[in-house]
Amino acid sequence: MVRRFVVAALTVLLSGCSSVTYYSQLASGQWQLLRAREPVAQVIADPTRPQVLREHLAQAQKARTFASDHLHLPDNLSYRLYADIGRPYVVWNVFATQEFSLTPQTHCFPIAGCVAYRGYYNQGAARGEAAVLKLQGMDVAIGGVEAYSTLGWFDDPIMNSMMNWGDERLATLIFHELAHQRFYVKDDTEFNESFASFVEQEGTRQWRAARGLGPISDTQARQREQFIRLILDTRQRLEKLYAQPLAPEVMRQAKAAQFEQLRHDYRQLRDTQWAGDKRYDAWINQPMNNARLLPFGLYDQWVPAFAALFAQQGGDWLKFYAAVEKMGEMPPMQRKAALRQLEGVGL
């Protein structure tokens, strides 16, 4: 009875713009996740559970407490529960654009508003959706997701999918997802993800400092920033290209040339400034399309702007959140203009 109620409620909450089948898998997937939860403290205290798991969860709880006490993120049961979902990702997101556009195909929900992807709890279903979109001539990409936030509607658990990259990565995921609970604007994925990414990055810096650790390797941070800049610069060039009145075949050739330029610029950067470090080779060598660039614009576009805003507020988290909330109340175009202004301040 409870299961039927939750599934029905989730279907109503998440419905809005597609088939009953799609929303049914969302509701069923969320229900299975809720049902798998158990208190982290119970897992840590259970000597029959793997020692590595218990140690990771113990460290995660320290980061979870830090998130509320020092970063002023929500203090609730989220990430004080654990769920083994039996797969490497909780959902697979399908991103799609038109062949000559960087505007994502959006999907709208009453709770989350419109987002630039469609999530599936089953990888096969995600691949099926991607195949259909490709047949329609769309540029498509699939990305596995380690965690997501229900924006406070449910107590989100730590999942086994969040624990593959060590204690610090788990802490950053907790900071990121709690940031979504702290503040969220409907219909503005770039704003929401960039805000959460900044909280994740600054929160991780402060978490390391609180434990007496030095900053993350300057080399790795610089390489990441340079790589993201290459992607964002490519997006800008493609946007200018797609605005031109070119014939489809000519546009297609110019588009391919831009992706080759990205690969060339990356390899030059890798070989001349990174001493041949190949950490991003696997990504850069995969087939390119517009959809593969979407997460970079969504998750990183406004991080420098939020960093500048944080500095303006003297590094005070509560003042920063208040300023973010004020910006979130602005009309979309005014909000984007404010972010651009902040981005210029941060340069």
The full DSSP string for 208-252 is HHHTT---S-HHHHHHHHHHHHHHHHHHHHHHHHHTS---HHHHH
Check residue 36 and report its DSSP letter.
Answer: T
Residue 34 CA to residue 181 CA, distance in Å, equals: 17
> What confidence tier does 11 reach under pLDDT thresholds 50, 70, 90?
very low
DSSP symbols for 143-169 = EEES----TTSS-PPEEGGG-TT-HHH
Residue 268 has pLDDT above 90, yes or no: yes
CA-wise closest residue to 292 among 277, 303, 282: 282
Average pLDDT of the chain is: 90
Residue 270 has pLDDT above 60, yes or no: yes
Q: Is the pTM of this model over 0.85?
A: no
H helix or E strand, kind and range, residue 141: strand 139-145
- CB 147 within 8 Å of CB 177: yes
In this predicted structure, what is the pLDDT of residue 224? 87
In this predicted structure, what is the pLDDT of residue 315? 98
CA dihedral 229, 208, 168, 61 (to 10 degrees): -140
- Say which amino acid occupies 54: R
Q: What percent of the chain has a predicted confidence (pLDDT) above 70?
A: 92
